[in-house]
């Protein structure tokens, strides 16, 4: 098939890489220096028409919220993703939390408000720490976990006025993603993201500093239960198509939804694509055509690990323009280096975003996969490069 991938980050590079390995003719708009056929700009429908693609798949959330799926469907073109109305699950945390409550999807206790006085008063309804979330899209950085009431008040002032304030859930986080066609769903393997900037899950939140994909994260029974109690009720209520991502906390009382996203995660996608062992394009087409029933993903046994290398100053004020070296040496180790925040300047590859590269490797065991990923990371240099040294470490206890 001829397939257009919308987006230009690490997730989109990984999607394009997997589809090309499946033998498809892939174009990426706008793409990045890592993608082989990049189309500049954001005229997605025009590009799809000009290229006469068989299918379009949307990577990032912003075009989905803006209604790109509605636009393509009106034009009669096949596309993977939710409508603008369904994308409100990610675009508005206030809407999403109310939706969960209405449908009976397990989540944390919360209040939602656009009034500072109500927000400040609402802080007293929860024990410390308290979670304060901005309502709209925030590229993974619109959440503050406040350890004190003073920090919570400061979070209200920095993230407001439209807020969700909720109880802090204790447990292990899991990313659970399913491909949907409006009625049927097919779950992908579970992954685990690492959101904070520093080791030990400390420091401010980022868009994600690394992820791993391993069949031991959840049992088959847990995956089935989450599909039944979280994914299927949402899909049924909304006629949701595309990727539905449930960020979960595995609490002592069972899994609870921290947030919904309406697309593949980043950097979860890098680990997922590295481990996938089936024709991704055919499954995407089945989603777009409403015929997922009976379909399933296939996965290699080997776990996969993605370590994100970020720019100096990330997440607050990332610096651009630092020369990147060593990617070829990293890939010579057997790893795959997915570009996220890179650009070519006078023929040289330099940094151009907060998360620069997603260095991804697999191994016969999780410890070996971790070692392989960091061996490749050690080959790459750019001034101010930062990466966490504990990606996937929480998974070692399952081995």
Q: Rounded to an integer, what distance in angstroms lies between the CA atom of residue 244 and that of residue 234?
A: 9
The pLDDT tens digits for 213-266 are: 999 999 999 999 999 999 999 999 999 999 999 999 999 999 999 999 999 999
71 part of a folded domain: yes
Could you read off the pLDDT of 309-325 as tens digits, one per residue? 999 999 999 999 999 99
Helix H or strand E segment including 110: strand 110-113
Q: Of 233, 254, 288, which residue constitutes the final position of a domain?
A: 288
The verdict on residue 385 lying in a domain is yes
Predicted local distance difference test score (pLDDT) of residue 138: 80
3-class state of residue 321 by DSSP? coil
Structure tokens, 359:
């260095």
Let me know whether 118 and 151 are in one domain.
yes
101 located within any domain:
no
User: Residue 2's beta-bridge partner residues?
Assistant: 25
Considering the domain architecture, whether residues 264 and 361 belong to the same structural domain is answered as no
Which domain covers residue 314, as residue numbers?
A: 304-398
CATH code at position 201: 3.30.470.20
337 found inside a domain: yes
Same domain, 314 and 352: yes
- What pLDDT sits at residue 137? 86
Q: Specify whether 328 is located in the same domain as 362.
A: yes
What is the domain count for the chain? 4
Please give the pLDDT value at position 139. 73
Whole-number Cα distances in Å, 110 to 2, 82, 98, 163: 45, 26, 9, 10
Q: Are residues 364 and 385 in the same domain?
A: yes
pTM: 0.96
Check whether residue 132 and residue 67 sit in a common domain: no
pLDDT at position 160:
87
Q: Which residues of the chain have pLDDT under 70?
A: 140
The answer to the question of residue 294 being in a domain is no
Q: Is residue 102 part of a domain?
A: no
> Which CATH number goes with the domain that contains 333?
3.90.600.10
Q: Are residues 359 and 326 in the same domain?
A: yes
- The Cα 37–Cα 154 span in angstroms is 45
39 and 73 both lie in a single domain: yes
91, burial (CB in 10 Å: exposed 0-12, middle 13-18, buried 19+) = buried
Question: pLDDT at position 396, please?
Answer: 98
Q: Give me the residue label for tokens 């490749």.
A: 376
CATH number, domain of 53, equals 3.40.50.20
Residue 103 lies in a domain: no
3-state secondary structure of 70: helix
Is residue 142 situated within a structural domain? yes
What pLDDT was estimated at residue 215? 95
Say what the pLDDT of residue 285 is: 98
């Amino acid at each position: 098939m001829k397939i257009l991938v919308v987006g230009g980050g690490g997730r989109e590079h990984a999607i394009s890489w997997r589809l090309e390995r499946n033998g498809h003719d892939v174009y990426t708009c706008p793409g990045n220096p890592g993608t082989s056929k990049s189309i500049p700009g954001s005229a997605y429908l025009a590009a799809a028409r000009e290229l006469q693609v068989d299918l379009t798949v949307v990577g990032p959330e912003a075009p989905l919220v803006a209604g790109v799926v509605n636009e393509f469907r009106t034009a009669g073109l096949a596309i993977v993703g939710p409508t603008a109305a369904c994308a409100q699950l990610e675009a508005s945390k206030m809407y999403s939390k109310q939706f969960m409550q209405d449908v009976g999807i397990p989540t944390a206790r919360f209040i939602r408000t656009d009034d500072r006085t109500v927000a400040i008063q609402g802080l007293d309804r929860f024990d410390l720490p308290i979670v304060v979330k901005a309502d709209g899209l925030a590229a993974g950085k619109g959440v503050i976990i406040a350890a004190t009431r003073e920090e919570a008040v400061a979070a209200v002032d920095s993230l407001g006025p439209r807020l969700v304030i909720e109880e802090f859930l204790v447990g292990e986080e899991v990313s659970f993603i399913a491909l949907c066609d409006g009625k049927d769903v097919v779950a992908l393997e579970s992954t685990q993201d690492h959101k904070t900037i520093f080791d030990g899950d400390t420091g401010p939140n980022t868009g994600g500093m690394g992820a791993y994909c391993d069949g031991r994260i959840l049992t088959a029974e847990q995956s089935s239960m989450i599909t039944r109690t979280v994914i299927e009720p949402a899909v049924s209520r909304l006629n949701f198509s595309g990727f539905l991502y449930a960020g979960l906390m595995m609490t002592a009382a069972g899994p609870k939804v921290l947030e919904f996203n309406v697309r593949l995660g980043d950097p979860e996608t890098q680990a997922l694509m590295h481990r996938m062992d089936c024709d991704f394009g055919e499954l995407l087409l089945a989603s777009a055509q409403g015929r997922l029933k009976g379909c399933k993903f296939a996965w290699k046994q080997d776990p996969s690990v993605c370590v994100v290398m970020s720019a100096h100053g990330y997440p607050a004020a990332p610096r651009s323009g630092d020369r990147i070296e060593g990617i070829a040496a990293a890939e010579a180790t057997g790893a795959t280096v997915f570009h996220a925040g890179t650009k070519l300047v006078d023929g040289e590859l330099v940094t151009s975003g907060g998360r620069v590269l997603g260095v991804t490797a697999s191994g016969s065991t999780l410890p070996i996969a971790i070692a392989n990923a960091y061996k490749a990371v050690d080959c790459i240099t750019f001034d101010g490069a930062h990466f966490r040294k504990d990606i996937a470490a929480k998974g070692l206890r399952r081995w």
